[in-house]
Amino acid sequence: MRETLFDKVWNRHVVTPETVDTPGVLYVDLHLVHEVTSPQAFSEIEARGLAVRRPDRTFATLDHSTPTLPAGADGERPYVTAAARSQVERLEANCARHGVRLAGWDSDDRGVVHVMGPELGLTRPGMTVVCGDSHTATHGAFGALAFGIGTSEVGHVLATQCLLQRKPKAMRVTVTGRLQPGVSGKDVALAVIARLGFGGGSGHVIEYAGEAVRSLDMEGRMTVCNMSIEAGARAGMIAPDVVTIDWLQGRRHVPKGEAFGRAAADWLTLRSDPGAVFDSEIEIDGAAIRPMATWGTTPDAGSPIGTLVPAPRDASDEKALAYMGFAAGEATTGHPVDVVFVGSCTNGRLPDLRAAAEVLRGRKVSPGVRMLVVPGSEAVRRDAEAEGLDRVFIEAGAEWRLPGCSMCIAMNGDFVAPGQLAVSTSNRNFEGRQGKGARTILASPATAAASAVAGVLRDPRVYLKEAVDA
């Protein structure tokens, strides 16, 4: 039986197989937890008198409701509301009571859950990883099967370390050819989603393959897998290779010495067998991908920067254009940008910040643009500051903040004001996602930085000397 990568990882975790009447029981290797989707799950298991079954396979962080401004002189953190504070305190208490490790305020490890997990080596090839968060697919970049679950299921995993699951279908997206200079993982993700459509991956686990995907560094691969849910897919996966193994070696929770060699040899077997059959296959010409930006209020409404907004297909497109203030037949590069956000679990890692800094170095953020740069984790913050990237951002006129989800979801007091136009490196351009009435253009870190400088949406290649459009 020729198996896909997804089959291999799935099969390794089946405790009891599914039948016509019942789903299978699937074992979870790593359960990541954050403050927003866990309190009701802890309450549920406590109401039943249950403990966390495997605290050693559970790891928590604070990211969504956390302020990105430092504590005041009185030591008080500037929470947006008392509810945000009590949500954070609830996770702290739940973790203490159940013996779950928490990367809390005092930890050097704290970060956005999908930035932190891989950084610490908690995420490894062949694992099953779940979190009460739809962007859990990020971890699939390592050849893990990683997907988001709801709060009831968070409770199931806390209590049993397992989930009831029916096996999704498999799709392969092959991105061929060599990416042009100035084209990043984010542009690949937006191009793939534009092709698949917003619900096009529904019911599927996507394996990303092809030369263009292989050419991405781990951070770029995480960006691509991260946005699988924006095509409706449960998960995205990329087969581990030497890039994966080099990235993981030496990380805290990765096996050391001889054990690492054995693990790495096993990881390299995690690839789709030649001739393995997928339920659907899509091929995209990677060499033809240009820096992308969205024009609508769904992540699939994207096109190369500078192309004209298409005519609306239906009432929903019309509503999206009315909300964005864009007209069919125009380029969106003429609208003044109010806010630029660089960060999130999609694009808040070190290479993302480097790409933004490369554009900003020696340049200024346009007057009238507010630019916020939020590192994805404390580790990213440390590394960026060691390289002086924080100075580049601050000298250009951007704000350099503490790690967290921040303006990606606008729960913590960082938001885009009603009617303002934002260029954002996050993953969702839904109405109100970045604040009530906020209008969001999704783009890469380089594009976000170029737009901050230009004051309008701008193709970053105009600022990147080595970039030549073929």
Partner 1 sequence: MPEAFQALTSKAVVLSQANIDTDQIIPARFLTTTSREGLGKAAFYDWRYETDGSPKPEAVLNRIDPAERRILLAGPNFACGSSREHAPWALVDYGFQAVISTSIADIFTSNALKTGLLPIEVNQATWDDLAAFPDQPVTIDLEAGEIRRGNAAPTPFTVELFARRCLLDGVDTLGWLQARLPDIAAWEAAHEMETA
Binding footprint of ligand SF4 on the chain (CB under 6 A): 63-64, 112-114, 133, 135, 344-345, 405, 408-409, 426-427
Cα gap 362→360, rounded to integer Å? 6
Q: What is the largest CA-CA distance in the chain?
A: 64
- DSSP classification of residue 417: P
Q: Identify which of residues 423 and 454 has a Cβ nearer to ligand SF4 in the complex.
A: 423
Residues that bind partner 1 (CB under 8 A): 12, 15-16, 20-23, 25, 27, 29, 36-37, 39-40, 43-44, 48, 50, 64-65, 81, 83-84, 86-87, 90, 126-127, 132-134, 148-153, 155-156, 159-162, 164, 166, 168, 198-199, 202-203, 229, 232, 234, 297-298, 314-316, 319, 409-411, 418, 428, 430-433, 436-437
Q: Of partner 1, ligand SF4, none, which one does residue 426 interact with (CB within 5 to 8 Å by kind)? A: ligand SF4
Q: Which amino acid appears at position 433 of this protein?
A: R
For residues 365 and 397, the answer to whether their CB atoms sit within 8 Å is yes
Q: Of partner 1, ligand SF4, none, which one does residue 8 interact with (CB within 5 to 8 Å by kind)? A: none
Q: Identify which of residues 106 and 314 has a Cβ nearer to partner 1 in the complex.
A: 314
User: Which residue, 377, 435, 425, 369, is CA-closest to 401?
Assistant: 377
Q: Are strands 162-165 and 24-27 parallel, antiparallel or unpaired?
A: antiparallel
Q: Of ligand SF4, partner 1, none, which one does residue 138 interact with (CB within 5 to 8 Å by kind)? A: none
Q: Of partner 1, ligand SF4, none, which one does residue 183 interact with (CB within 5 to 8 Å by kind)? A: none
Q: Of partner 1, ligand SF4, none, which one does residue 269 interact with (CB within 5 to 8 Å by kind)? A: none
Q: How far is the CB of 131 from partner 1 (least distance, A)?
A: 8
Beta strands in 6-152 (DSSP E): 14-16, 24-27, 30-33, 58-61, 101-103, 128-131, 145-148
Q: Are strands 58-61 and 101-103 parallel, antiparallel or unpaired?
A: parallel
Q: Identify which of residues 64 and 156 has a Cβ nearer to ligand SF4 in the complex.
A: 64
Q: How far is the CB of 443 from partner 1 (least distance, A)?
A: 19
The backbone torsions φ and ψ at residue 363, rounded to the nearest 5 degrees and listed phi first, read: -120, 170
Q: Are strands 292-294 and 302-304 parallel, antiparallel or unpaired?
A: antiparallel
Q: Of partner 1, ligand SF4, none, which one does residue 344 interact with (CB within 5 to 8 Å by kind)? A: ligand SF4
Q: Identify which of residues 22 and 273 has a Cβ nearer to partner 1 in the complex.
A: 22
Q: Identify which of residues 179 and 411 has a Cβ nearer to ligand SF4 in the complex.
A: 411
Q: How far is the CB of 5 from ligand SF4 (least distance, A)?
A: 24
Q: Identify which of residues 150 and 336 has a Cβ nearer to partner 1 in the complex.
A: 150
Task: Give the residues across from 162 on adjacent strands.
Answer: 27
Q: Of partner 1, ligand SF4, none, which one does residue 432 interact with (CB within 5 to 8 Å by kind)? A: partner 1
Residue with tokens 């990043």: 184
Q: Identify which of residues 8 and 458 has a Cβ nearer to partner 1 in the complex.
A: 8
Q: How far is the CB of 97 from ligand SF4 (least distance, A)?
A: 24
Residue 392 CB partners (closer than 8 Å, separation 6+): 357, 360, 361
In terms of C-beta distances under 8 Å and separation of at least 24 residues, what long-range contacts does 7-12 make, across chains too?
A: 7/170, 7/276, 8/126, 8/269, 8/270, 9/126, 9/127, 9/128, 9/143, 9/144, 9/145, 9/237, 9/270, 10/145, 10/167, 12/126
Cα gap 407→440, rounded to integer Å? 11
Q: How far is the CB of 249 from partner 1 (least distance, A)?
A: 18
Q: Identify which of residues 319 and 354 has a Cβ nearer to partner 1 in the complex.
A: 319
> 368 exposed, middle or buried (CB, 10 Å; 0-12, 13-18, 19+)?
exposed
Q: How far is the CB of 216 from partner 1 (least distance, A)?
A: 25
Q: Of partner 1, ligand SF4, none, which one does residue 39 interact with (CB within 5 to 8 Å by kind)? A: partner 1
Element (H, E) at 206: strand 204-209
Q: Identify which of residues 91 and 112 has a Cβ nearer to ligand SF4 in the complex.
A: 112
Q: How far is the CB of 316 from partner 1 (least distance, A)?
A: 4
Q: Identify which of residues 21 and 466 has a Cβ nearer to partner 1 in the complex.
A: 21
Q: Of ligand SF4, partner 1, none, which one does residue 298 interact with (CB within 5 to 8 Å by kind)? A: partner 1
